[in-house]
Amino acid sequence: MSVPARETMRRGWCPGTLRPMATGDGLLVRLHPPRNVLTPDQFAQVAELASRHGNGQIEISGRGNLQLRGIREEAHPALVDDLLEAGLVDEAEGDGPNRLVLTSPLAGRAADELLDAAALAEAVERAGRAIAGLPAKLSIVVDGGGALALDGFAADLRLLAVAAGTLAIGLPGELWFGPVAPEEVPVLTAQLLDSFVAASRRSPDHIRRMRYLDPAELTALAASSGLVPMTAPAARPGPVSVGLVAERDNRVAVLAGLPFGRTDADGLHRLGARARDAGVREIRLSPWRGLAFCGLPADVASILCDTLRSKGLVVELDDPRLSVSACAGAPACARGEVPALVDATVLADTLAPLLTGGLSLHVSGCAKSCAHTGSADLTLVGRDGRYDVILSGAAGDAAIAHLSLGELVRRLEPGQDIRARLDAAHTG
Ligand code: SF4
């Protein structure tokens, strides 16, 4: 494969492996391993490359992308060569848009899937990539209909299995069409995307996401592909995003979240070694900012799950860290004005009852807010060794206080002012 000319992209664009994005701590290189599968040995390779070419900080994004941080500009071509040689680049990625399709980490493996979501996702990805002019951030969710529900992930197009061999097609605004058979889906997807690109070209501001179309336009888009409206599928419980999950053929997977979606080269290396020792041959990236260790006998999976818990990974659904986003902060990131990752652990403990009840917390090492661009119930932004405190907002919104970690913890204790305001907002 020839590597397209490298292009460092502006913040807000999608970084890919071949086209990294400049961030506060160097280039961010996003990795989409083919079929979303890595072996334990490939884990070790990624760990080695992350420290050789960058600052060794590794994260898994909220869309299940493996991201290497702090890559030195001059090292990027060598990193790409090394990743290609290791078979870690999805060569279909080319220099087109990033991966379109999001699936569950157990697509094609989960015991309760209503169809083979992995095979369908690959067919949809191929069909989508054939459409010229697709916006880079366009996103399609392929959901096999099992307990690993992807309802919480934003998508322009949602392909949801609602019964064995039957799917519903969802467009933004809870507009549902179908039912359709799996074999019809790739062609229908291509038609919908093609119509969207044409609509985007016609619009004066060249809209980039389907959600910017109004319901009448979306319904017309679906009708042009012969789709008819249907009742919205029944609501499902939240996903079992961490812990033990049954696979086909009496196998079990361990889903483990990385604390705040982050680790470093040493941590990744150790995880690969533990997986290899347990007999794991397939590790998948999870959009719940973690990993799926697949294909284990039940007893081995249970032991691995206990080991990962003891090493600080998230394997319980009520772990407060699942409600916290944080960047690496100082000292790993040169731009960091506070040790965001260390402080996030303290704050997750302080706020555990509220976090397990649904409160969201974002801890950022500086105003760039790399780890989360949206709003959170409590956003803390590092500045001069302390935190700007923002309630119900994003980094950049007005702060109500500028506090050290110690002051913050005291004022987050039950009965204190900030805690009282969070309690009130949360129960109100
Ligand atoms: S937000 Fe965090 S990772 Fe991003 S530049 Fe600032 S300190 Fe570094």
SS3 category, 305 = helix
pLDDT of residue 14: 53
* Number of domains comprising the chain: 4
Spatial CB neighbours of 353, under 8 Å, sequence gap ≥ 6 = none
Beta-bridge mates of residue 369: none
pLDDT tens, N- to C-terminus, the chain (428 residues): 334 434 444 444 456 777 788 877 789 999 888 889 999 999 999 999 999 999 999 999 888 999 999 999 999 999 999 998 888 887 665 555 568 999 999 999 999 999 999 999 999 999 998 998 888 789 999 999 999 999 999 999 999 999 998 999 999 999 999 999 999 999 999 999 999 999 888 877 778 888 888 899 999 999 999 999 999 999 999 899 999 999 999 999 999 999 999 999 999 999 999 999 999 999 999 999 999 999 999 999 999 999 999 999 999 999 999 999 999 899 888 889 999 999 999 999 999 999 998 899 999 999 999 888 889 999 999 999 999 999 999 999 999 999 999 999 999 988 888 888 888 877 66
* Ligand 1 atom at minimal distance to the Cα of residue 327: 2
Cα 104 to Cα 101: distance, rounded to the nearest angstrom: 10
What domain range is 376 assigned to? 321-427
Q: Are residues 81 and 122 in the same domain?
A: no
Output the domain CATH number for residue 390.
3.30.413.10
Q: Are residues 55 and 118 in the same domain?
A: no
pLDDT of residue 422: 84
> What's the CA-to-centroid distance between 367 and ligand 1, angstroms?
7
pLDDT of residue 133: 87
Last residue of a domain, one of 317, 343, 372: 317
SS3 category, 6 = coil
Here the tokens at position 260 are 């705040």
* pTM as predicted: 0.89
Output the domain CATH number for residue 44.
3.30.70.3340
pLDDT of residue 416: 84
Q: Are residues 295 and 309 in the same domain?
A: yes
Q: Are residues 159 and 88 in the same domain?
A: no
Residue 213 in any domain: the answer is yes
> What's the CA-to-centroid distance between 25 and ligand 1, angstroms?
7
Q: Are residues 310 and 329 in the same domain?
A: no
Q: Are residues 255 and 270 in the same domain?
A: yes
Residue 238 in any domain: the answer is no
24 lines ligand 1 (CB under 6 A): yes
Residue 142 in any domain: the answer is yes
Q: Are residues 288 and 267 in the same domain?
A: yes
> What's the CA-to-centroid distance between 326 and ligand 1, angstroms?
9
Last residue of a domain, one of 274, 299, 317: 317
> What's the CA-to-centroid distance between 255 and ligand 1, angstroms?
27
Residue 54 in any domain: the answer is yes
Probe target for ligand 1 pocket from 61, 366, 373, with the most ligand atoms within 8 Å of CB: 366
282 lines ligand 1 (CB under 6 A): no
CB 153 within 8 A of CB 241: no
> 125 φ, ψ to 5°?
-60, -45
Residue 230 in any domain: the answer is no
pLDDT of residue 7: 44
Q: Are residues 350 and 290 in the same domain?
A: no
Q: Are residues 326 and 377 in the same domain?
A: yes
Probe target for ligand 1 pocket from 335, 341, 381, with the most ligand atoms within 8 Å of CB: 335
Last residue of a domain, one of 317, 339, 368: 317
Residue 397 in any domain: the answer is yes
pLDDT of residue 3: 42
Query: Side chain identity at 423, as an amino acid letter?
Result: D
131 lines ligand 1 (CB under 6 A): no
372 lines ligand 1 (CB under 6 A): no
Spatial CB neighbours of 414, under 8 Å, sequence gap ≥ 6 = none
pLDDT of residue 343: 97
> What's the CA-to-centroid distance between 205 and ligand 1, angstroms?
32
pLDDT of residue 11: 42
pLDDT of residue 15: 62
Q: Are residues 310 and 352 in the same domain?
A: no
> What's the CA-to-centroid distance between 303 and ligand 1, angstroms?
36
* Helix 265-278 with 40-53: angle, nearest 10 deg: 170
Q: Are residues 249 and 165 in the same domain?
A: no
Residue 232 in any domain: the answer is no
Q: Are residues 311 and 325 in the same domain?
A: no
